[in-house]
Amino acid sequence: MEIVILGYGPAALSALTAIHGCPPSPKGEEIETTVITAEPHPPYSPMFLIEYAFGQVSRRQLYLPQIPSANGRLKVVAGRKATEIQANENRVLLDDGEIIPYDRLLIATGASALKPPVKGLDKPGVFFINRLDDVLRLRARVRRASNAVIVGAGAIGIETALALACQGKRVTIVEAVPQILPLMLDADLAAFVQAKLEERGVHFLLNSPVCEVLGKRRADGVVCEKEVAGDLVIVAAGFRPNMGFVNPAGIKTARGILVNDRMQTSAPNIYAAGDVAEARNPFADRYELNFTWFSALEQGRVAGSNIGGRTARLFYSPSLNVLKGLDFAVASVGQKVNPAEYELVFFADERAGTFEKVYLKGGYIEHYQSIGLPYKLGYIYNLVRNRKKVSSRAQLAIKDYSPVYVG
């Protein structure tokens, strides 16, 4: 059986591990697995690219353990991209013209940095943090920089700002919406985190969409509601799935590649997992992209098991976001919701610097966000993931907090 995997990140490695663990075929056929990756590097952890960019981890620590075999022979084709999937003929066309046949195909191509429609974004001196090659270029530049502008106040932008501030750089974060961490926190909790970041020397310009990158030969700042000078511009405006080679007439797509609970696409023998896959949230009756490490591993495991001959299903894989770089925990579970449609339970202890918001519907947690409570994250995540009903608020208040608002 010929298995082809597009991509060599966490989802692909998780799938390879699952395939390797499947029992041999009853027919005795050998599995030949071909991994096609656009990057020339061994597989690495995207979670720690920022730490590597600023010297907090080594190149060796960045790399992930490789799978020696996958229940048969394993071949890795590096530095090549898929340009087309010919689903009717069970083959993949590569950018060098090579045609790779498959019996089963896994698309695990991840996501790329979102490039907003900003004039001058292609100038030298503008950097993204999404691939190892991006970070290698950034490492070479950051030593000479003293004044950084970061476009985007999500988790990547904040973590990058903290790392730069620790190196003594002046850092300004420019964000189009009125708060930081808009996909993780409500405005009040975000304001608390922002104040702590300002104490560390990080500057903010919120509610200010960037319209242009300044500079003639290279970037030297941005223009939003005013000019912001900087000899280093880093764009952290989000991600988009890598699926430009997918024909939506043959494989159903929306924001990502649509998959069922076995990670199967609409095309026979084709699966998708990780950042490129848009899986169904059975409780909210919608499909969701989930750009997190834990989701990539879980989806890869399910896809690999089914490709290898076992039956596995993805029950639910809620997003789990944890902000790194601060001396207190900032986290969220599940995608943000419209507060008007949910019951809110809010626990707070301002003196201790601990806050948490729990959004419930019908007794089930749909979204959770917290500051200063790392020990509760696993407990809440399991309540959300396993769809455990919360019968009383005492189940939420593991520690003796008093609800300051219940609405």
pLDDT at res. 394 = 66
Are 54 and 163 contacting, i.e. CB atoms less than 8 angstroms apart?
yes
Q: What is the pLDDT of residue 71?
A: 57
Say what the pLDDT of residue 285 is: 82
Distance of CA 133 to the CA centre of its chain: 18
- Print pLDDT tens along the chain (407 aa): 899 999 999 999 999 999 988 777 667 678 899 999 999 999 999 999 999 999 899 999 999 987 765 556 889 999 999 999 999 999 999 999 999 999 999 999 999 999 999 999 999 999 999 999 999 999 989 989 999 999 999 999 999 999 999 999 999 999 999 999 999 999 999 999 999 999 999 999 999 999 999 999 899 999 988 899 999 999 999 999 999 999 988 899 999 999 999 999 999 999 999 999 999 988 888 899 999 999 999 999 999 999 998 999 998 889 999 999 999 999 999 999 999 999 999 989 888 899 999 999 999 999 999 999 988 888 899 999 988 898 777 677 655 433 333 33
Give me Rg for the CA atoms of the chain.
Answer: 22
Q: Is 191 helix (H, G, I), strand (E, B) or coil?
A: helix
DSSP code of 194?
H
Residues 104, 306: Cα–Cα separation, whole Å? 10
pLDDT at residue 314, as a whole number? 94
State the amino acid at position 146 in one-letter form.
S
Handedness of CA 272, 258, 237, 160 (dihedral sign): negative
pLDDT of residue 401: 39
Question: According to the model, what pLDDT value does residue 283 have?
Answer: 83
Distance set, CA 255 to CA 25, 51, 182 (Å): 36, 29, 19
On whether the CB atoms of residues 181 and 190 are closer than 8 A, the answer is yes
In what helix (H) or strand (E) does residue 174 lie, and over which residues does it extend? strand 170-174
pLDDT of residue 350: 87
- pLDDT at site 399: 52
Q: Residue 326 CB: number of other CB atoms within 10 A?
A: 16
According to the model, what pLDDT value does residue 29 have? Answer: 74
Residues 6+ apart with CB under 8 A from 385: 315, 316, 317, 318
Which pLDDT does position 400 carry in this prediction? 41
